[in-house]
């Protein structure tokens, strides 16, 4: 069995790369360890930058996103019981698209099925070999049978816990990591969003975020301790805590209801350098993780894929210039998004070990931010997404 590009992982990174390559006539196969339903059941990101929207359009999967997605021109920062709007469109001329990662994944899966490209779900014990030479191969077990496939390249789109980065010799990769002393408890409910735009809250009890998936489905988060478990939080407890952290006049408008999904996500900043190891390339969460505060995780995955796709297309046209530049180009953008996500996380969360001086620094930065158009423009241009070079 042979393909040109073996893609490990059928999350947004793997599916988007597969779809772009398929449209360019480059043969590829996706190996995913879980079932399609399991992948769709993971509730994650909610905000797309324009560059990600453009890549999904280029992949031919943007129709439902434009029909059902919610273009947003701004969001609110809330602290000291008051809300302050950051006018993204007024400050940058750009907006973001609120459209859940689940829907992005579903659109990509539907397109892949329609295009008859090969995907193997529930592929167990995936192994990658020979990527330091010119004849890489991948192995997996499916239905109790061990399979092997030769390929030209391997795209490691298998997320933070995947096999690809773990298969790189230890001395060949440098890891940079910061783990935050808190997590996010997220709740999904079929209730109308408390506000037409997102609200990021800095509260003495902890961070909260009011987001959404549609005009009838809300996605809310509260900062929680790292030793807490979802079972510790009844719906009633979540709603009471979320309401406490919202400004009073907003809390009065909160419509509560039963949770459809509840989960706790740990927060970390992480980057692997470089992102290329011979014929193996890391893209998306396999190469980096950001705390979700800046809504960058899914968007960084999309732009990694954009760079890698350009490199692979050029390779098959006879030039390796873009492929050789992949790691450096992607990392330049990744580090800027890491910085913004770290900055926004540090600004908005309650640090258990932080003292009164740290809290005064947060407050001073928030006060400066709402009083300075220059500071708001800096936030806005990072939030809507820096241009792909
Ligand atoms: P993914 O992790 O999505 O996909 C990797 C795929 O590879 C998975 O399907 C996995 O099953 C598969 N895989 C792993 N190991 C394998 C192996 N050995 N063999 C075969 N397949 C294998 N980002 C935001 O912007 N906002 C958010 O609110 C947000 N919330 C998040 C909550 C959680 C719990 C997590 C983990 C992430 C969150 N993110 C958020 C970030 C998230 O959206 C990622 O950026 C996005 O899923 C990245 O997509 P992929 O790179 O495709 O990785
Ligand atoms: C979400 O809707 O899940 C979401 C939105 C913005 C963020 C993080 C998560 O910064």
- Domain parsing of the chain, residue ranges: 5-46+101-176+268-344
Residue 178's Cβ-count burial label (10 Å; 0-12, 13-18, 19+) is: middle
Residue 44 Cα to ligand 1 middle (Å): 8
Q: Residue 86's CB: how many other CB atoms inside 10 A?
A: 21
Candidates 280, 269, 272; CA nearest to 337 is 269
| pLDDT reported for residue 171 | 94
Using alpha carbons only, give the angle 311, 313, 314 rounded to the nearest 5 degrees: 65
Query: Would you say the CB of residue 159 lies under 6 angstroms from ligand 1?
Result: yes
| pLDDT reported for residue 62 | 97
| pLDDT reported for residue 142 | 95
- The predicted-structure confidence for 158-208, as pLDDT tens digits, reads as follows 999 999 999 999 999 999 999 999 999 999 999 999 999 999 999 999 999
Query: Would you say the CB of residue 292 lies under 6 angstroms from ligand 2?
Result: yes
- State how far the alpha carbon of 385 is from the alpha carbons of 38, 298, 304, 334, 379, in Å: 29, 12, 13, 11, 10
Nearest listed ligand to the Cα of residue 220? 2
In angstroms, the CA 285 to CA 148 distance is 25
Residue 294 Cα to ligand 2 middle (Å): 8
Q: Which residues have a Cβ under 8 Å from the Cβ of 189 and sit 6 or more positions away?
A: 217, 218, 220, 256, 257, 258, 259, 260
| pLDDT reported for residue 116 | 77
In angstroms, the CA 59 to CA 5 distance is 17
Query: Would you say the CB of residue 46 lies under 6 angstroms from ligand 2?
Result: yes
Candidates 102, 8, 87, 110; CA nearest to 48 is 102
Query: Would you say the CB of residue 13 lies under 6 angstroms from ligand 2?
Result: no
Nearest-atom index, ligand 1, CA of 160: 2
From 19, 38, 44, give the residue whose CB has the most ligand 1 atoms within 8 Å, as the site to mutate. Answer: 44
Using alpha carbons only, give the angle 217, 292, 197 rounded to the nearest 5 degrees: 40
Query: Would you say the CB of residue 219 lies under 6 angstroms from ligand 1?
Result: no
Residue 285 Cα to ligand 1 middle (Å): 6
Nearest listed ligand to the Cα of residue 383? 2
Q: Which residues have a Cβ under 8 Å from the Cβ of 141 and sit 6 or more positions away?
A: 123, 124, 125, 147
Q: Residue 65's CB: how many other CB atoms inside 10 A?
A: 19
- Report the chain's C-alpha Rg in angstroms: 21
Query: Would you say the CB of residue 289 lies under 6 angstroms from ligand 1?
Result: no
Residues catalogued as catalytic:
72, 200, 292, 296, 383
CB distance 32 to 180 below 8 Å = no
CB distance 381 to 92 below 8 Å = yes
From 49, 125, 162, 308, give the residue whose CB has the most ligand 1 atoms within 8 Å, as the site to mutate. Answer: 162
| pLDDT reported for residue 1 | 87
Candidates 246, 285, 239, 291; CA nearest to 265 is 291
Query: Would you say the CB of residue 219 lies under 6 angstroms from ligand 2?
Result: yes
Residue 331 Cα to ligand 1 middle (Å): 18
Nearest-atom index, ligand 1, CA of 286: 51
Query: Would you say the CB of residue 10 lies under 6 angstroms from ligand 1?
Result: yes
Query: Would you say the CB of residue 47 lies under 6 angstroms from ligand 2?
Result: yes
Residue numbers in the chain where pLDDT is lower than 50: none
Backbone angles phi, psi at 150, to 5 degrees: -85, 150
Ligand 1 atom 34: residue of nearest CA: 265
Nearest-atom index, ligand 2, CA of 293: 10
In angstroms, the CA 275 to CA 17 distance is 16
| pLDDT reported for residue 144 | 93
Catalogue the E-assigned strands of 24-135: 28-31, 47-48, 70-72, 75-79, 82-86, 96-98, 118-120, 124-129
In angstroms, the CA 282 to CA 366 distance is 36
- The predicted-structure confidence for 31-65, as pLDDT tens digits, reads as follows 999 999 999 998 899 999 999 999 999 999 999 99
User: What is the DSSP code string of 163-219?
Assistant: STGGGS-GGG-EEEEEEEEEEEEEEEESS--SSSS-EEE--TT--EEEEESSSS-EE
Long-range pairs for 201-204: beta carbons < 8 A, 24 or more residues apart = 201/78, 201/79, 201/245, 201/246, 201/247, 201/348, 202/77, 202/78, 202/79, 202/347, 202/348, 202/349, 202/350, 202/362, 202/366, 203/78, 203/79, 203/244, 203/245, 203/350, 204/350
Q: Which residues have a Cβ under 8 Å from the Cβ of 44 and sit 6 or more positions away?
A: 101, 102, 297, 298
Nearest-atom index, ligand 1, CA of 34: 11
| pLDDT reported for residue 174 | 98
Query: What is the domain class of 5-46+101-176+268-344 according to CATH?
Result: alpha beta
Query: Would you say the CB of residue 284 lies under 6 angstroms from ligand 1?
Result: yes
Nearest-atom index, ligand 2, CA of 219: 2
Q: Residue 34's CB: how many other CB atoms inside 10 A?
A: 16
């Amino acid at each position: 069995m042979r393909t040109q590009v073996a893609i490990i992982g059928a999350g947004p990174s793997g599916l988007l790369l597969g779809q772009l390559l398929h449209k360019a006539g480059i043969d590829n196969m996706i190996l995913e360890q879980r079932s399609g339903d399991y992948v769709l059941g993971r509730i994650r990101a909610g905000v797309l930058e324009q560059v990600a929207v453009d890549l999904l359009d280029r992949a031919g999967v943007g129709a439902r996103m434009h029909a059902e997605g919610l273009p947003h021109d701004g969001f609110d920062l809330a602290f000291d019981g008051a809300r302050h709007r950051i006018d993204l469109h007024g400050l940058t001329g750009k907006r973001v698209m609120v459209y859940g990662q689940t829907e992005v994944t579903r659109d990509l899966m539907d397109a892949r099925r329609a295009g008859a490209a090969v995907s193997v779900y529930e592929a167990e014990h995936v192994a990658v070999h020979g990527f330091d030479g010119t004849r890489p191969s991948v192995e997996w077990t499916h239905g109790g049978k061990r399979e092997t496939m030769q390929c030209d390249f391997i795209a490691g789109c298998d997320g933070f816990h995947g096999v690809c980065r773990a298969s790189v010799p230890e001395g060949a990769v440098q890891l940079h990591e910061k783990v935050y002393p808190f997590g996010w408890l997220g709740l999904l409910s079929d209730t109308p969003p408390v506000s037409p735009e997102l609200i990021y809250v800095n509260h003495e009890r902890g961070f909260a975020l009011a987001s959404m998936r549609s005009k009838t489905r809300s996605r809310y988060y509260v900062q929680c301790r790292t030793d807490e478990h979802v079972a510790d939080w009844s719906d009633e407890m979540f709603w009471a805590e979320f309401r406490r952290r919202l400004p009073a006049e907003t809390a009065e408008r909160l419509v509560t209801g039963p949770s459809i999904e509840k989960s706790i996500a740990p927060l970390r900043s992480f980057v692997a350098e470089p992102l290329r190891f011979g014929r193996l390339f890391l893209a998306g969460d396999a190469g980096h993780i950001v705390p979700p505060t800046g809504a960058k995780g899914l968007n960084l995955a999309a732009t990694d894929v954009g760079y890698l796709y350009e490199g692979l297309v050029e390779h098959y046209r006879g030039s390796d210039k873009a492929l050789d530049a992949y790691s450096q180009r992607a990392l330049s953008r990744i580090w800027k998004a890491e910085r913004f996500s770290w900055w926004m996380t540090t600004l908005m969360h309650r640090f258990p070990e932080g003292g009164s001086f740290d809290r005064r620094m947060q407050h001073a930065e928030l006060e400066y931010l709402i009083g300075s158009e220059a500071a708001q423009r800096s936030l806005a241009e990072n939030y809507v997404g820096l241009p792909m070079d």
